[in-house]
Structure formats: C-alpha cells, structure tokens
Structure 1
Amino acid sequence: MKEKDIKIIGSEEWCVFEEFGIPAIKARIDSGAKTSSIQANNIKIFLKGTAEWVRFEVNPIQDNRSIMITCESKIHDKRIVKSSSGISEQRIVIKTPVTIGNTTFEIELTLANRDAMEFRMLLGREALLDRYMVNPSATYLERDFTTQQIAEKYAPFVKEKSGLKIALLASNPELYSNKRIVEAGIARGHEMVFLNVEQSYMKLDAIEPEIRYRGGNIIDAFDAIIPRIKPSVTFYACALIRQFDSMGAYCLNSAEAISQSRDKLFATQLFAKHDIHIPITGFAKSPLDTKDLIKLVNGAPLIIKLLESTQGKGVVLAETNKAAESVINAFKSVQTNILVQEFIKEANGQDIRCFVVNGKVVASMQRQAAKGEFRANIHQGGSASKIKITSQERKLALKAAKILNLPVAGVDIIRSNKGPLLLEVNSSPGLEGIENATGLDIANIMIEAIEKRLKFKR
C-alpha cells in the first residue's frame, strides 16, 4: 500500500461488525498491543461438522450489560496472550470483517474479559499495519455517533420490562458489584430498584406494616430483595430485611444468615460444631490468659483478627510471641473483641475464594497476596486467577454455606499440610475480582437463582 493511502485515525474510534450484528462499539487504538481483542462473556466452544466454532456474548456499551448480543464464529486459532496485568492465559482467536468509517477489512480478534477495562474493544497494531497512522491527540476521526444515535441503534436490543420487581438493598450504587447486579436484572427483563439502606425506614404494625424511603415514599410490592450489606449497617439492614420478609418479599440472603456470618466467633463455633476443619482458633477475655491463648494456637507467628473485620481490614500478623502478646493486650485494653488464629505458613500468602449460589460452587479463584503482605486480598494489591478446586474443597465450601443458611456466599479456603481449611464465609461477596478472574457472569447467575426460587418463567 502506498503511503498516501494510509489514513489518520484517532486514539479512539467507532467500529461496526455487520457479521455479528454489532452496530457500533468503541475501540481503543493501541499500537503497543499486537492483537486486537473484544469483550466476550459466556464463551462456549462447539462443533459444526468437524470444525471448532465458538459462541459468545458481547456487551458493546461500556458499563451496560443490559444490552447483550450473541455472536458465533469459526475458531481461527488459540494463543497464549499476556494481559495488561502481566498474567498469561490462553485465548480464542477469531477472524471477522470490521468496518471503520467507510472502510471494511478483516482482522483477527482475541476473545477476552474486558469488563474492567475502559473500552470493550482494543484495536492492535496488526489491524493498523499498512492501513492507519494514529493521532493520539484526536478521537473519532473516521466517524462519530451522538448519544441519541447510539440509543437508536441499540433500541431493538432493549428488552421490555415484563419480569420481577427486584430491589438491591445496599449503600453505594456505583460499586462494581451493585452495578453488575442491576445490569444483569435489567438484561433479564426485570425491574431493578436500588435502595440505600440508610435512606429506608419502616413502620412496624400488625395491620399495615410499611417501608418508606427518604421523602416519605412508600416502597413495597417487591418480589425479591438482594441484600449487599456493609458491616457498619448490619444491624439496621437486617431489621429492614426482616421487614421485607414479613411483607412477602423473597430475600436472597436472610437477616438471620447475614447476622450469623458477620459474627465471626459464632460462625467459627458453628463450623467447629459441624466438623468443618478450620485453623486452630482461640478466644479469651482476660489479659491474664494471653500467654496461654498464644500457646493454644501453636505460638507465633499467628493471626489476630477483629470480630468485625472485613475485606482483610482488622487482620494482623504477629511474628513473635512478644509482639502477639502486646497486640492482643492492646486490643483487650480498649474492650475490642478479637480472635487469635494459627498462621498457615505453607499457604505462601494464597487462599481460594469459592462463590456459592443455591448449593453450587459456580466459580472459584485463587488469590495471591501482594509482595510484603501475608494475606491474599485483591482490595490491598493482591492478584487473582481462575483455579480448579478439588472435590474436597468443593464439599467444604458447600457445607460451610449450608451451615450458615446462605444461598449466596463467598467461602474462603486455605490449603494446608492438613488439607483444606475454612477461613471464613462472606454473606455479601464482591463480584469484580471473581468475574474478572474467571470471565463468568456471576451477577446473571444470582438473578437466575431468584427466578428459580420464585418459579418465574421468562
């Protein structure tokens, strides 16, 4: 191709995939990446004759999973690709025509989970070669669409609301998990309402019980409630959940189950009672018992955990007996309840999160602690990757969720020389880490669980 035939494009451009019925998708132009990629969920490989094909779902609009397009393509290749986070993984490669402006040409696309990325598509240098030069200071030089035009293009894909009325009871509508659940519900045709826990209040009355929202609006007639409760509002939120339950709404996790899971001491006692293997754990009131308490859990190094801790906050590693004694007595001096737990050194800063929905482990990931940290936590710089769990680990996760009577739970397990041990069970598990690590649509699975419980047929 002659130099004069090479076009100038911006750092962002709109792409069209007529073969897939995708009318417009924003792409980040990245000459630093070799291969182009597109966001893909629910990837399924199947055979057409003797050829391998792939079926996948694309959500072409960023931050909006309510619009979904199902695509099929013959598999061109399978390659090991290193992601932006430095993790290598095998990806499916397809070939398909793409249109940018008035130009249509064939490109290779890897199917990738790009939910956490700013753009649902990336156009790499192989697609640019002999066709385009990039002006990084400009955008949409080939074609631009207004918000109204995009709405019109995707109007046929917007589903009518003919389903359930579901409330998400939480505190922050902008959290990834909360946005994903709302999107998933809308995508399945349900009416989704976000309710802020702290802006809801109730009237307790045998004849006319009510729940109202700030301003006096009565909120009722919900088919289901999805509680996602932060620890600081557990007591009040559980009161609201009980009220919704008494008014006939199905609550995905009950108030009793959430309360039990949040009481780490009670939950630990329940696990031990039901013969679930846990790290040796100690609990005492008096500072006079501190030295013996440390011996009970095999001495330092050991873990000191606040009973109200969450997302790894309030968890301390004491590396020596003297340090452990100082920290434990300091907490006791301010009347703070703690658990003391043996440190599983052989885990090497790794643990496993199993996501349980309605008696099934629907996804699992391995979390690795950040350098210098002793505990795996993606909220504090740790990393996560997909993992295949053992049958023993699966049984442990399911049993733990069942003991607490939690239809939805994040069960944390650690591998030790004694076999898998249960760390804790989270009644409001986050979706971002596990969806990104596994590529699975967990939010959709949660909505399906409600549909199944309420015997709703789409």
Structure 2
Amino acid sequence: MFDKVIVGSEEWCSFPGLGLPAIKARVDSGAKTSALHAININPFLKDGESWVKFDINPIQNNTKTIIHCEAPLIDKRIVKSSSGYREKRYVIKANLQVGDTMWEVEVTLTNRDSMGFRMLLGREAMSGRLLVDPEQKYLLGQPTTEKLKEYYSTNDEPKKGLRIGLLASNPELYSNRRIMEAGELRGHEMHFLNLKYCYMKLDAETPEIHYRGGRVLNDFDAIIPRIRPSMTFYGCALTRHFEALKVYSLNSAAAISQSRDKLFSLQLLLNSGIDIPTTGFANSPLDTNDLIKMVGGSPLIVKLLEGTQGKGVVLAETKKAAESVINAFKSLNANILVQEFIKEANGKDIRCFVIDGKVVASIQREALPGEFRANIHLGGTASVIKATPEEKRIAIKATKAMGLKVAGVDIIRSSKGPLLLEVNSSPGLEGIEGATNKDIAGEMILAIEKNFKI
C-alpha cells in the first residue's frame, strides 16, 4: 500500500510514446476503462499488423494544437459511457507517465469534446499503483501556461494545406479511408465528420454547424459529402448549411438531391439529350397493363425510386410476373419506375468515374451467373475497359446535367447504342481503384485544390 502513488481527482500525465508531453486527466476509480480524446481515428496495416492513427487536441478548448499519433491496435470494444451511450471504440496500449512512475496501460479512443478533460484515467489502469485522494488536485504538480506553450509550440504553426471535412457515416469504409489518406498525403488537414454527430444553428447573424460536444465547424475550407441514401435529407441539409457558410463543397447539396431522385434525374438527362432505356412511371395500379406495353412488354425491370446499389431492382420475366411485382409495390404505396430490359447487355455495364468534367477511369462490371444486373456490392466482378468516345461524352454530359463535380456514371451497351442507367453522386472507390490501380481519391483532392488555385 505504501508503495502506491497518491494522486488527486485531477492530475497531469503524459504519453511519451505518443508524443504527448502533458495532458490533463480526470482520475475516476468509478470508471473501469481509461479513455483518451481522439479525432480522425483510422485503422491501417503496418508491416502486416493492425495499427490505428488518430489526432489529439491535447489542450482543452484548443483545436489549433493537433498531435498526430499512431499506435498498435489491440482490440475493438463496446464501451458504455456514464450517460448510458454505448459506443464501439478502438483500444490501444501505451506507456503512461504519472509523476515519476511509468507503466503500460490500455486506453480506448473516443471524441471527448463534450467532456471537461481530454483523458479519463480508470481503475484498471490505476490498480496496484495509485491511491486517490478525492479532496485534492494536482498533487504531482501541473505545467505552467508557458511550459505548455513550450511543449506544443511546433503545433501552433499555421498549416499550409486546406482544412477539409469528409462528411460521411462510416470512417472504416474503403472509400472514406482512401479519401482521408489522399488528403493527408497532399498536406491537407483532414477531418472525418460523422453526419449523425453534426447539428445546425440557423441564425441570421451567427449561423453555425456544431459537432457532438459543442465543437463549432465553421472554420473548414472545403467538405466532401459522401452521403448514404438513408441520410440524404439530413446530409443535404448539412451540406447546404456549409455552403451558406462559404465552405466549398465538392458536390453541392442541390446536385446530390436531384441525382438521388431517380425520376427527376432521368427527366433532367432526357432534357439534356441523353438516351436512357424506355421508362414508365404511374401512380395508379389500374394503369399497370399500359405501363408494361409502354416499355416494350416483358421481360422488364421494376425499380424502387428510393433503391440504391442494386437494392429494390427486380427483373420480371413474364407479363404475369410484372403485374404481380408492380401491384405488390403499389399496394405498399411505393413509388416505382418500370424500365425496358436490355437483354443484349448480358448482365454487363460500364462505370465511368467523372471528376471535374473529365472521365478519370472506367471499368466494366459483370453480374454473377444468374443475375441480370452488374453490381460489385452484390458479388459482381470488375475489369478495366476503355470507354468509347461516345460513352465518355455521355458520362461527362450526364454529370454536368446533374450539376455534379464527382460522379459514377453507369452506361449500358445496347443494340440502339449506349444508354445511360444512373448517375451516382457518392460512387465507391474500391472496385474502380482495385481494377485500374488509379489514385481516384487523389484526383478528388486535386479537384478541390484546383478550386482554390493551389
């Protein structure tokens, strides 16, 4: 017992291996797990081992001072906070120094902007080493303001790159990880902004966007919206608010909104002179027979307007099957499109990736045997293909018609020539980068740089 170090309810400590010479901790024997404030948390492989890199603002209420850290990843764990919120966190091991004593501890990584301390020291880390006097604070001393400036002086230098936010939902997705990496490699300050953690202040004089815990997000140069379909309404609202704050958005909220509306997007494409498969749309089930005739009869495709990535797309091979599918959807008050089936495409389509008015890569996607539509998400395959000049022209024209800077344009080859299927405002990078070995994420960052003339 007498070998243990007595500490107060608040103490300054350090993580020498992470490059953190001083960080203030709340000492809490009621908490089992220790936690360290971290943002931009991204797992990666290093020499075949799992690691995680993350950024820390070590000083409370100071987001300008940033320490870039990386450590071996030992676990992913569900942690329940004092407020009852359950969160999956990455767990690392690091050497912790408290006073003159140093030992290895397990620490979970989480955004603690809403907390009063950048670190929480839990009982597992203290066991056998520390005793807590809850009436005391800083029994082991605390650094002066001048000392803190000396510790972190190099991090107060102005950054030469841009401050870019990736507005998305899952930091572990390949596409999101690659965009973060590409931005960092080009010297930009990249921040992953979870859509669900953002909220808005609508005010004529001081409009703001806040992040969980109250952090204000108004100081970004640019954002890259990667909005999943289920978050389209809220994601576009956030993007519009960033735009109102004069933050450059790689794809605008208006462009994303109209590209997600399948019917409206097809009408825009037709108005721009772009050919699509013959398509029908009706509100009443009473019009089913004429709707089927309108698109050339069976077999035909039935699509949910809200579907994406191959979901909500059905091939009806006979007239009876078509009637059943259409009427079933209608009975659920679902909005559907009916589209002619291009048999000669043989389950293949062309994905052209367009960035800033140029096709930067193209692949052919092929459906699994027995499937009618190519989709990598559903197990299809991708191979490099050279798009024809006409296909490139269609892809660029379609992207412009949607008002998008970045788009994945899907084209099908038919006996009538190339037909446009869909324009995706948040196209995935894994299939096209894997097939072509091109740095698509880097091209996206270059498009932002071009806007800022850097």
TM-score by length of 1: 0.65
Aligned-partner residue type, residue 313 of structure 2: V
d(CA) in 2 for partners of 1:274 and 1:441? 30
Where does the alignment leave 5 or more consecutive residues of structure 1 unmatched?
1-58, 67-159
d(CA) in 1 for partners of 2:178 and 2:159? 18
TM-fit CA distance, 1:161 = 5.2
Match of 2:305 in 1: 307
d(CA) in 2 for partners of 1:295 and 1:271? 23
Match of 1:309, SS state, is: coil
Match of 2:241 in 1: 243
Match of 1:255 among 249, 253, 278: 253
Match of 2:442 in 1: 444
TM-fit CA distance, 1:275 = 1.4
Match of 2:291 among 272, 290, 293: 293
For 1:46-445, list aligned pairs within 5 A.
162-445=160-443
Match of 1:221, SS state, is: coil
TM-fit CA distance, 1:216 = 1.4
TM-fit CA distance, 1:421 = 0.2
TM-fit CA distance, 1:61 = 6.2
Aligned-partner residue type, residue 370 of structure 2: G
d(CA) in 1 for partners of 2:377 and 2:159? 35
Match of 2:448, SS state, is: helix
d(CA) in 1 for partners of 2:182 and 2:284? 49
Moved more, 267-276 or 178-187: 267-276
TM-fit CA distance, 1:454 = 1.1
d(CA) in 1 for partners of 2:386 and 2:225? 28
Match of 2:307, SS state, is: strand
Aligned-partner residue type, residue 302 of structure 1: L
Q: How many residue pairs are counted as aligned between the two chains? A: 305
Aligned-partner residue type, residue 382 of structure 2: A
Q: Deviations over 1:98-122 (max 9, x none)?
A: xxxxxxxxxxxxxxxxxxxxxxxxx
d(CA) in 1 for partners of 2:400 and 2:438? 23
Aligned-partner residue type, residue 226 of structure 2: R
Match of 1:310, SS state, is: coil
Aligned-partner residue type, residue 372 of structure 1: G
d(CA) in 2 for partners of 1:328 and 1:280? 17
Match of 1:313, SS state, is: coil
d(CA) in 2 for partners of 1:324 and 1:380? 23
Q: Deviations over 1:352-391 (max 9, x none)?
A: 0000000000000000001111000011110000000110
d(CA) in 2 for partners of 1:192 and 1:362? 23
Where does the alignment leave 5 or more consecutive residues of structure 2 unmatched?
1-44, 54-157
d(CA) in 2 for partners of 1:240 and 1:60? 35
TM-fit CA distance, 1:162 = 2.6
Q: Deviations over 1:262-311 (max 9, x none)?
A: 00000011111221100000000111100000000001110000101111
d(CA) in 2 for partners of 1:403 and 1:353? 17
Aligned-partner residue type, residue 446 of structure 2: E
Q: Deviations over 1:398-418 (max 9, x none)?
A: 000000010000000000000
Match of 1:239, SS state, is: helix
d(CA) in 2 for partners of 1:210 and 1:323? 52
Judging changes above 3 Å, is the alpha-carbon distance between structure 1 residues 185 and 274 closer, same or farther for their aligned structure 2 residues? same
Aligned-partner residue type, residue 344 of structure 1: I
d(CA) in 1 for partners of 2:442 and 2:268? 31
Q: Deviations over 1:223-253 (max 9, x none)?
A: 1000000001101111100110111110000
TM-fit CA distance, 1:60 = 7.8
Match of 1:395, SS state, is: helix
d(CA) in 1 for partners of 2:221 and 2:352? 28
d(CA) in 2 for partners of 1:61 and 1:262? 41
TM-score by length of 2: 0.66
Aligned-partner residue type, residue 182 of structure 2: A
d(CA) in 2 for partners of 1:237 and 1:164? 22
d(CA) in 1 for partners of 2:257 and 2:366? 28
Match of 2:187, SS state, is: coil
Match of 2:277, SS state, is: coil
d(CA) in 2 for partners of 1:220 and 1:273? 37
TM-fit CA distance, 1:220 = 1.7
Which of these two proteins has the greater Rg computed from alpha carbons? Answer: 2
d(CA) in 2 for partners of 1:206 and 1:366? 49
Aligned-partner residue type, residue 412 of structure 1: D
Match of 1:154 in 2: none
